[in-house]
Amino acid sequence: SKTQVGFIGLGNMGNPMAKNLLKHGYPVIATDVFPESCKEMQELGAQIVDNPAEVADKADRIITMLPSSPNVIDVYTGPNGILKKVKKGSLLIDSSTIDPSVSKEMAAAAEKMGAVFMDAPVSGGVGAASSGKLTFMVGGAEEEFTAAKELLSCMGANVVYCGQVGTGQAAKICNNMLLAIGMIGTSETMNLGIRLGLDPKLLAKILNMSSGRCWSSDTYNPVPGVMEGVPSGNNYQGGFGTQLMAKDLGLAQNTATSTKTPVPLGSLAHQMYRMMCARGYANKDFSSVFQFLREEEGQ
């Protein structure tokens, strides 16, 4: 029978991911600082413990799915962190989207304890997490990839090896910077077209058969009423929060600064998403930038 897998961080993404491990027959031992988020997993048969150190005491394969860099530092190196009790040879996989330099620090700290750390951030939202169709971008020692893939493929349709530790985060951050730029571009374009008298559905149809087509125009259109089953049709509820997008754009800025890479549109996108957070959009889906632009025009 399969041995226990540890899971830390049972939020919007972690909860459905851990459920898929259970579905594949892995006993799960889990923890989260917010007791309410452990309830459902406990009912489904997961063992719940008090802190990450206790998870590491019992499981030698652990997945973490936490909001941002400080939480990851705390869960790995804090007073009740994984590294306090980690077993030699353990495989530690972090699927949070964080600063790649923090992934490298965690990998070095894990190595000192005889354990292996890999970064494996995901693309795909809560829907993909529930249906087990996430894409994992994995960084770390190549000889450990097969072991990581065994677990990650229970939760994802694509598991891609990117290179040394931190490169999974690099791929994720690059994707989300382009996504944000594309979403803002689509929103301002759609708004201009509407102002010029075009029907938004017709304009989207034309863009999607022309060279302006992108994911934000053809599968996640930000204009209410253009598409069904997307957050713009549901007052921008659900989906991927503006606050999380602002965080990811901040990570892109940090890496761009440290590598002296010009990212002028990424920088502007970061500022816009931060302004949105300050103006009450923090928990709305990131496609609400369309609504934000309309307000700027005094509508």
Task: Provide the annotated active-site residues.
Answer: 172
d(CA 51, CA 48): 9
Beta strand extents in the chain (DSSP E only): 5-8, 28-31, 47-48, 61-64, 91-94, 116-119, 122-123, 134-139, 156-163
Query: What is the distance between the alpha carbons of residues 67 and 95, in angstroms, rounded to a whole number?
Result: 10
What residues between 161 and 220 interact with ligand NAD by CB under 6 A? none
CA proximity to 292, closest of 254, 227, 229, 246: 246
- Residue closer to ligand NAD, measured from CB, 67 or 200: 67
Residue whose CB is less far from ligand NAD, 14 or 140: 14
Which is nearer to ligand NAD, 129 or 203 (by Cβ)? Answer: 129
- Closest to ligand NAD by CB, 204 vs 240, is 240
* List 40, 58, 67, 185, residue binding ligand NAD (CB under 6 A): 67
Which residues, 244 to 263, sit near ligand NAD by CB under 6 A? 244
How many residues line the site for ligand NAD (CB under 6 A)?
A: 26
CB of 184 to ligand NAD, least distance (A): 18
Provide, rounded to whole angstroms, the least separation between the CB of residue 210 and ligand NAD. 29
Q: Is 120 in the site for ligand NAD (CB under 6 A)?
A: no
In angstroms, the CA 67 to CA 33 distance is 12
The helices-and-strands tally (H runs, E runs) of the chain is: 14, 9
Phi-psi region of 106 (alpha: psi -120 to 50; beta: other; left: phi over 0): alpha
> Identity (one letter) of the amino acid at 260?
K
CB of 195 to ligand NAD, least distance (A): 31
Options 48, 113, 126, 227; binder of ligand NAD; rule CB under 6 A: 126
Q: What is the DSSP string of 113-130?
A: TT-EEEE--EES-HHHHH
Q: Does 6 bind ligand NAD (CB under 6 A)?
A: no
Length of the chain: 299
Residue 102 binding ligand NAD, by CB under 6 A: no
Residue 238 touches ligand NAD, criterion: CB under 6 A: no
Least Cβ distance, residue 247 to ligand NAD (angstroms): 6
Q: Taking CB under 6 A as the rule, does residue 12 contact ligand NAD?
A: yes
Closest distance to ligand NAD from the beta carbon of 260 (Å): 26
Does 11 bind ligand NAD (CB under 6 A)? Our answer is yes
CA R_g for the chain: 20
| Closest distance to ligand NAD from the beta carbon of 287 (Å) | 12
Query: Is 34 a binder of ligand NAD (CB under 6 A)?
Result: yes
CA distance 291 to 254: 28
Interface residue with ligand NAD, options 20, 69, 90, 97 (CB under 6 A): 97
Burial code (b: 16+ CB inside 10 Å, e: under 16) for 94-112 equals: bbbbbbbebbbbbbebbee
| Distance between CA atoms of residues 70 and 46, nearest Å | 26
What residues does 5 pair with on adjacent strands? 28
Which residue of 102, 120, 122, 277 would you call a contact of ligand NAD, by CB under 6 A?
Answer: 122
- Give the separation between CA 257 and CA 101, rounded to whole angstroms: 13
Binding site for ligand NAD (CB under 6 A): 8-14, 31-34, 37, 65-68, 71, 74-75, 96-97, 122, 125-126, 240, 244
